Amino acid sequence: MNKKMTINSIQKTKGIRPLVMITAYDALFAKLFEDSVDMILVGDSLNMSFAGRKDTLTATMQQMIYHTNAVCNGAKNTFVVCDMPFGTYTNKKDALKNAIKVFQQTDADCVKIEGGADKADIVKHLVDNGIAVCGHIGLLPQSVRGEGGYKVKGRDPKEQQQLIEDARAIEEAGAFCMVIEGVISEVASEVASCIDIPVIGIGAGSDVDGQVLVFSDMLGLFEEFTPKFVKKYINGATLVKESVKRYSNEVKTREFPEDMHTY
């Protein structure tokens, strides 16, 4: 069994080796992932791939706490990050109240917050009150309705400068690491090189301090849409559908159950 990562050991990987993060929403998958990853993210992406909603914005604290408990139960030896859902950290008071709920009602090791310099005061308030924070800059899925779509960041000098300012502000506020999403590779690389905490990329190229993928994307379980940055390691949807089809046929033909499955 691997040794569970800590904030300290996560930070020490910077410049040494890339961090491996994956999402999970339940105990079953969390347990399967545990031996191969450094960190599990209970992302609010669960609202899309688990709950079937169109985006992450309708995820609730109740949902995040339920799924974080399931993941912590399945992966007791892994560092778990719980996403703070949209609208739960718009001011310092609410952010602290909701982050405390995560720490009191689950075994999560930190919370994740979307936003850059505009959220630095909130990150600082949480850190000052004993809550470990993972930042999330670049393309922010919780801003999809406000921005009118998922837009890759860092294409022009103004956005590039903003990303660097965001990263510096979140680091200075006390976040111990951050996710950078949907950013031009060279810009993400520059962001990672100008701060001292690990920058974990998704759709941000290879020259950052780690990678995170949504598990249902990389296992090929989510069929509707595959973003360019996703590598499908197996075609999970086909495997699942073929297996259930075989089961269905075998039940109908009475091939299943066999003697070996019978008391």
Q: 83: which DSSP letter?
A: E
Active-site choice (159, 181, 186, 224): 181
Give the total of residues touching ligand KIV (CB under 6 A).
11
Query: Does 30 participate in binding ligand KIV (rule CB under 6 A)?
Result: no
Please state the closest distance from residue 210 (CB atom) to ligand KIV, in A.
Answer: 11
Q: State the residue for tokens 């604290």.
A: 61
Tokens for 211, please give them: 């990678």
Can you tell me the distance from the alpha carbon of 230 to that of 151, in angstroms, rounded to the nearest whole number? 16
Answer for which of 23, 78, 88, 189 binds ligand KIV (CB under 6 A) is: 23
Q: Within 10 Å of residue 105's Cβ, how many Cβ atoms?
A: 15
Of all residues in the shown chain, the one whose CB is closest to ligand KIV is: 43
Residue 131 or 212: which CB sits closer to ligand KIV? 212
Please state the closest distance from residue 2 (CB atom) to ligand KIV, in A.
Answer: 22
Please state the closest distance from residue 56 (CB atom) to ligand KIV, in A.
Answer: 6
Query: Does 45 participate in binding ligand KIV (rule CB under 6 A)?
Result: yes
171 counts as catalytic: no
Answer for which of 34, 38, 44, 209 binds ligand KIV (CB under 6 A) is: 44
Query: Does 208 participate in binding ligand KIV (rule CB under 6 A)?
Result: no
Can you tell me the distance from the alpha carbon of 144 to that of 44, in angstroms, rounded to the nearest whole number? 13
Query: Does 202 participate in binding ligand KIV (rule CB under 6 A)?
Result: yes
Q: State the residue for tokens 């930070």.
A: 11
Tokens for 207, please give them: 């020259």
Answer for which of 10, 169, 179, 195 binds ligand KIV (CB under 6 A) is: 179
Residue 81: exposure state from Cβ atoms within 10 A (0-12, 13-18, ≥19): buried
Residue 37 or 242: which CB sits closer to ligand KIV? 37
Give, as ranges, the residues between 130 and 159 that touch ligand KIV (CB under 6 A).
none
In the 3-class helix/strand/coil scheme, how is 22-49 assigned residue by residue? EECCCHHHHHHHHHHCCEEEECCCHHHH
C-beta of residue 181 within 8 angstroms of C-beta of residue 138: yes
Query: How far, in Å, are 26, 28, 153, 194 from residue 138 at the CA level?
Result: 27, 31, 6, 15
Please state the closest distance from residue 131 (CB atom) to ligand KIV, in A.
Answer: 18
- Distant-in-sequence, close-in-space partners of 137: CB < 8 Å, separation ≥ 6: 115, 116, 163, 166, 167, 170, 178, 179, 180, 181, 191
Tokens for 165, please give them: 């300012």
Residue 171 or 181: which CB sits closer to ligand KIV? 181
Query: Does 209 participate in binding ligand KIV (rule CB under 6 A)?
Result: no
Q: Which residues are catalytic?
A: 181
Binding stretches for ligand KIV (CB under 6 A): 23, 41, 43-45, 83, 179, 181, 202, 212, 214
